[in-house]
Structure 1
Amino acid sequence: MNVRHHTVQIQGLDVFYREAGDPAKPTLVLLHGFPTSSAMFRELLRDLSDDYHLIAPDHIGFGQSAMPAVDEFDYSFEKLTEITLALLDTLGLDRFALYIQDYGAPIGLRIASRAPDRVTAIISQSGNAYMEGFTPFWDVLFAHAKDRQANEADVRKLLEPEATKWQYTHGVPIDRLELVSPDTWTLDQAYLDRPGNKEIQLQLFWDYQFNLDGYPAFQEYFRTHRPPTLIAWGRNDEIFGPEGAKAYARDLPDAEIHLLDAGHFALDTHGREIADLIRDFLPRALA
C-alpha cells in the first residue's frame, strides 16, 4: 500500500505524520529518534502496510513538524510526550502497539506506563530503558547536563555532518555499508542546519537527564503489566549498547530479544529482518 502524508494541528502546532495500511487493522505507532524523523520508517511502513495500520509522527522540532524557537516552546520529553498523546487522541487511536527507537523510547514508555491499557505490545530498536544501555558516548552529554556552558562546545560537535553520518555507519558490517543510503544523514543534517534547530537539540540534550528519573516507573510497568515485547537491537550500537537490550529480560522474562549485526540505525541495514521479526511477533502478541 502507498504511504500517505498528513499534517494536523495539535495545540496550535503543525504535527506531521506518515500513515500506511488499513485503519481497520491493528495499529502500530512508530516513534523516531535523534537526529532523524519519521523518514527512518519509510521502508518499514511499506513492508508492514498489508497487515497493519501504521502511524509515524515527526516530533516537534524534527522533520516536517513545526519548529518553534527554543524560547517559544517547552522542548522537553514531557512536552513531546504530551503532543504525541494528543495526536493519538485526535486520530482516535485507543489501542496500539509501539515501536520505539532512541528518543522515541522515553516518549513511548511514558505513554505506556501511564496508560497501560492502551498499549498492546512494544517493539524496541535501541530504545533504552535501563542504565546498562548507556555507553561512553554519553559521557559528554551527562557532563553537559551538569554544566551546560562548560560543555556546550563539545556537545555541539554531535550536531555536525561527521557526527550525523557516524550515527548511521558505525557498527555496520563492511558487507552491509552499501545498504546505508547517504540520503539518510544528508536529510537529517539539512534539518539540523535550519536556523535555530541546533539550539532546540541542545535543549533536548540537556533535558534527556530527566528521562532517567522515569526508568523506575517504566520498569515497574514492565513487571506489573508484562506487555508483549520484541527487542531488535544492533549489537554494535555505540550509543545504546547491547546490555541495554539484555536488561529488558530482568523485568520481562518473556521478551523476545534479537541482537542484530548492526549499529544504531538497524533498520537501514536489517530492515527486512526486522520486518520479518515483527510479522512473526505481532500476531502472537495480539492474539
Structure 2
Amino acid sequence: MSHVSSAAAAAAGPAAVIAYGAVNAADLQIHHRFEQVGDVKVFYREAGNPNSPKILLLHGYAASSFMYRGLIPLLADKYHVIAPDLPGFGFTEAPASGSYSYTFDQLAKTIGQFTEQLRLDRYAMQVFDYGAPVGWRLAVANPSRITAIISQNGNAYEEGLGNGWAPIQKYWKEPTRENRESLHEFPTPSSIKWQYLEGVPDPSLVPPDAIALESYLVSRAGNADVQLDLLLDYRTNVAKYPEFQAYFREHQPPLLAVWGKNDPFFLPAGAAAWKRDIPGADIRFYDTGHLALETHGAEIGAVIRAFLDAHVK
C-alpha cells in the first residue's frame, strides 16, 4: 500500500486501516503519558510500535502537543511517534518562573533528558515555532541522532523574522519592566485567537476547541511570566542562528519545510533560506497562517508521510 493510501486509511480511522490490512489497529491508538525529568513532569502523546523508526514532534507557541492530534495517526502505522508538551505548555507540570529557568537552553536540556529516558537514540523530528530552537539545540548537541527534519514555521534565519517581532525585539534590546509590561497582551486568550486566525483565508477551517484549550492553558496562574521569560530569551535563538546554519551545512540532514505563507511572525523567506545551506531541502508553502496544520492538516500530513517514507529507514 502506498504512503498516500496508508495516510488516508489512518485518517479514516482504525476500522479503515484494518480493511486495508496495513497495520495493527492498536498502533494507531494515542496514549497519554507522563515522564518525570528532574523536577519537570513531562506530559507526552505516544503512538506506534516502539520498534519502529522514531519521530519526535515538538510544538511551539501558541500550541501544545494537541496541535499534532491529527498528524499522529497518519504516521503511527509505520513510525513510533512521541509528542511532548514543553515546560510551560500543555499538561506538562513544571516549577514556577523563578524556580525553573524558562530559557531555550533549559527547555532543550529537559527535552534532551526526556529523549534519553525514553531511549530515543535516533529519531526524525518535526518542529514548529518554539519547538524549532529546542530541536536545533538537540541536533547540534547530537547530530548523529537526527535522521530527518520537518519544520512547520520553525525558523532558523534572520530573514524569516516578520514585523510581528518588532515590539519583542525592543524588549530584547532594553529588557526593562516597562517594555516587559508593554507585551502583557501577548500571553492572553485574545492574542491566542489572533495567532490562530491571522492570515487564514477561511477561518471556518480553524477548530475553536484548539483555540479554547490553548487560551485556557495560557491563562493559568503564573503562566504569563513564563511566556514573557521565554519571549525575552528568544533573542538567544537569533544569536545562535549561525551555529544552527553551520549544522545544516555540515550534516545535510534531509529537510522538509511546510510553511504557512501568511504567518505574521515567520516569513516565507525564512523557509526559502534553507536552500543556501541544504540545496536538496524540500520547501513548500500553503495559503494559511502560523498554525498551518489546523487548516491544512490532511494535505501537509500526506507530504510529511511521503518525506519520511523516502528518507527514514
> What TM-score results when the alignment is normalised by the length of structure 2?
0.89
CA contact (8 A) 2:74 2:305 kept: no
Letter in 2 for 1:267: L
- 1:269: how far off? 0.5
Indicate the residue corresponding to 1:173 in structure 2.
Answer: 201
- Once residues 210 and 12 of structure 1 are traced to their aligned partners in structure 2, the CA distance between those partners, rounded to angstroms, is 24
- 1:167: how far off? 0.7
CA contact (8 A) 2:122 2:147 kept: yes
- Residue 88 of structure 1 is aligned with which of 103, 110, 115? 115
- 1:192: how far off? 1.1
Asked whether 1:135 is paired with 2:162, we answer yes
- Once residues 12 and 139 of structure 1 are traced to their aligned partners in structure 2, the CA distance between those partners, rounded to angstroms, is 34
CA contact (8 A) 1:67 1:197 kept: no
The Cα offsets for residues 114-154 of structure 1, whole Å up to 9 and x where unpaired, read as: 21100000000000000011011000111112223221232
Indicate the residue corresponding to 2:189 in structure 1.
Answer: 161
- 1:17: how far off? 0.5
- 1:68: how far off? 1.3
Letter in 1 for 2:153: S
- Once residues 271 and 32 of structure 1 are traced to their aligned partners in structure 2, the CA distance between those partners, rounded to angstroms, is 14
- Residue 141 of structure 2 is aligned with which of 99, 102, 114? 114
Asked whether 1:151 is paired with 2:179, we answer yes
> What TM-score results when the alignment is normalised by the length of structure 1?
0.97
**Larger deviation, residues 34-43 vs 115-124:** 34-43
Letter in 1 for 2:48: G
The CA RMSD measured in Å over matched residues stands at 1.0
- Once residues 67 and 13 of structure 1 are traced to their aligned partners in structure 2, the CA distance between those partners, rounded to angstroms, is 5
- Once residues 164 and 12 of structure 1 are traced to their aligned partners in structure 2, the CA distance between those partners, rounded to angstroms, is 28
CA contact (8 A) 1:22 1:53 kept: yes
**Larger deviation, residues 140-149 vs 254-263:** 140-149
Q: Which runs of 5+ in 2 are unaligned?
A: 1-27
CA contact (8 A) 2:57 2:127 kept: yes
In the TM superposition, 1:9-28 aligns within 5 A as 9-28=36-55
Letter in 1 for 2:166: D
- Once residues 241 and 94 of structure 1 are traced to their aligned partners in structure 2, the CA distance between those partners, rounded to angstroms, is 33
CA contact (8 A) 1:15 1:65 kept: yes
Letter in 2 for 1:208: Y
Indicate the residue corresponding to 2:150 in structure 1.
Answer: 123
- Once residues 13 and 259 of structure 1 are traced to their aligned partners in structure 2, the CA distance between those partners, rounded to angstroms, is 36
Letter in 2 for 1:59: L
CA contact (8 A) 2:123 2:148 kept: yes
Q: Which runs of 5+ in 1 are unaligned?
A: none
- Once residues 220 and 190 of structure 2 are traced to their aligned partners in structure 1, the CA distance between those partners, rounded to angstroms, is 17
The Cα offsets for residues 234-257 of structure 1, whole Å up to 9 and x where unpaired, read as: 111111011111011110110000
- Once residues 181 and 112 of structure 2 are traced to their aligned partners in structure 1, the CA distance between those partners, rounded to angstroms, is 34
Secondary structure of the residue aligned to 2:212 is: helix
Letter in 2 for 1:276: A
Secondary structure of the residue aligned to 2:71 is: helix
Indicate the residue corresponding to 1:52 in structure 2.
Answer: 79
CA contact (8 A) 2:189 2:216 kept: no
- Once residues 247 and 188 of structure 2 are traced to their aligned partners in structure 1, the CA distance between those partners, rounded to angstroms, is 37
Secondary structure of the residue aligned to 1:158 is: coil
Indicate the residue corresponding to 2:277 in structure 1.
Answer: 251
Secondary structure of the residue aligned to 2:224 is: helix
